Amino acid sequence: MKKLIIASMAATALVAGSVAVGAAANEDSGTVVRVIDGDTLVVSINNGDHTIRLLNVDTPETKDPNQPVECLGPQASKYLEEALPKGTKVRLEFDVERHDKYGRTLAGVFSPDGSLVNAEIARKGLGIPVQFGENRKFLPPVQAAYEEARTAESGLFSKEIDCTLPAQLAETTQGLEDAAEAAEATTSAAAGAAAAALVTKLAAAKSLRAVFSATKDANRAIYWAGLSAAATATALSALDNKITAGEKKRDEFQSQQSMLAAAEKKAEEERLAAEARAAAEKKAAEERAAAEKKAADEAAAAAKAAAEEAARQAALEAERLRRLPAPAPYVPPAPQPYVPPAPAPYVPPAPSKYTGPRCYAPGGKTWTPC
């Protein structure tokens, strides 16, 4: 009996030792060397550096050379740096699979105060739950923390952080509403600007719709939205309605732009024609005025020249007269005594042989044939 008891006690001690060894093998401790990104850090364990990948949580990318820096990725990295600064003592717990395909050690990381860092990152809205193969050990606390972040609209669920999908959805929806409610345009330029604004907003809305429509594996952005299937369907329906209304308003603005442009073109043509007529009339009036002024100037010049010539001639005549010698004083001739002329002796006319009738002059001394 005593041997049996001793054997039983030995077996119990062996089992207890095996459990202790197993528990010890499933956890470890170390010192933080540095943080790589929001879900990866380097820990010194037994004087060797090991890259630790936090289990059951995924944060936005910042280091993947094939991916752009994702929304809140830098903030997730900063949070982990502040939570686990260099030199921090941490406890590591492992699950079924110890390493991933990149050779990183998969673990739950506990801070000095006993908090599970994997879950705390999700609670801040900086990470999402994810399962790595058969490793599910830390998935429940990460999921619970993730739901807290969703309820509180923290981090990736915030509508106040521009890069998050909730914020983009709110901004895109509001932008479409504002653009669609723009006042009626009074000029083609204003209508064109309103249509262009709607085209831009519609492109952004359709791009966002494509993100919401994509699968999580095809587009990580929808992964960060954390929307359920029902919430995604509701968001898509609301977005589709806004897009439809925006397209209708865009068409109206484009139609207004065409009509206003035609009216403005006609008005501009009429304005240009009126300006051309006015310019022609002004030119004609200016030409008439110039011709009249020229004629008046020429007449004035001619009159001035004539006056100057007359003045010159008068001056010449005056000079000529000035140069003439003074006239001699007038001396009337002495009167001559009157001498009557001597009477001519009378010579009777020669007898005429005329035998015809005679016509005598008064006195009867002379006659002419009658």
User: Does 370 map to a domain?
Assistant: no
Query: 147 and 203: one domain?
Result: no
Side chain identity at residue 72, one-letter code: L
Contact present, 116 and 141 (Cβ < 8 Å): yes
What tokens appear for 162 in the block? 């521009």
Burial class of residue 111 (count of CB atoms within 10 Å of its CB; 0-12, 13-18, 19+): middle
Which residue in the block uniquely carries the two structure tokens 């995604």? 232
User: Does 59 map to a domain?
Assistant: yes
Task: Indicate the residue among 274, 298, 330 that finishes a domain.
Answer: 274
Instruction: Please report the pLDDT score of residue 19 as a whole number.
Output: 34
Query: 146 and 32: one domain?
Result: yes
Query: 119 and 222: one domain?
Result: no
User: Does 255 map to a domain?
Assistant: yes
- Residue 56 and residue 136: Cα distance in Å, rounded? 7
User: Does 282 map to a domain?
Assistant: no
Query: 81 and 110: one domain?
Result: yes
Domain holding 114, by residue range, is 25-157
Query: 42 and 142: one domain?
Result: yes
Catalytically active residues are 53, 61, 104
Task: Indicate the residue among 157, 187, 207 that finishes a domain.
Answer: 157
User: Does 211 map to a domain?
Assistant: yes
Query: 147 and 176: one domain?
Result: no
Query: 119 and 227: one domain?
Result: no
User: Does 63 map to a domain?
Assistant: yes
351, 355, 360, 365 alpha-carbon torsion, rounded to 10°: 20
Query: 59 and 79: one domain?
Result: yes
Query: 136 and 181: one domain?
Result: no
Q: Kindly report whether the global pTM for this prediction surpasses the value 0.95.
A: no
Contact present, 109 and 67 (Cβ < 8 Å): no
pLDDT in tens, the chain (370 residues): 333 333 444 434 333 333 333 445 789 999 999 999 999 999 999 999 999 999 999 999 888 777 788 899 999 999 999 999 999 999 999 999 999 999 999 999 999 999 999 999 999 999 999 998 899 999 999 999 999 999 999 999 998 999 888 888 888 988 888 888 878 888 999 989 989 999 999 998 998 888 877 766 656 666 666 667 787 888 889 889 989 999 998 998 899 889 989 998 999 999 999 999 999 999 999 999 999 999 999 999 999 999 999 999 999 989 888 888 877 787 888 888 888 888 777 777 666 677 778 887 888 777 777 7
What tokens appear for 121 in the block? 């990152």
User: Does 30 map to a domain?
Assistant: yes
Reported as a single tens digit per residue, the pLDDT across 1-11 is 333 333 444 43
CATH number at residue 116: 2.40.50.90
Task: Indicate the residue among 139, 157, 175 that finishes a domain.
Answer: 157
Query: 62 and 121: one domain?
Result: yes
The number of folded domains in the chain is: 2
Pairing of strands 105-110, 48-54: parallel
Which of 40, 62, 60 lies closest to 51, judged by CA?
40
User: Does 289 map to a domain?
Assistant: no
Instruction: Please report the pLDDT score of residue 10 as a whole number.
Output: 40
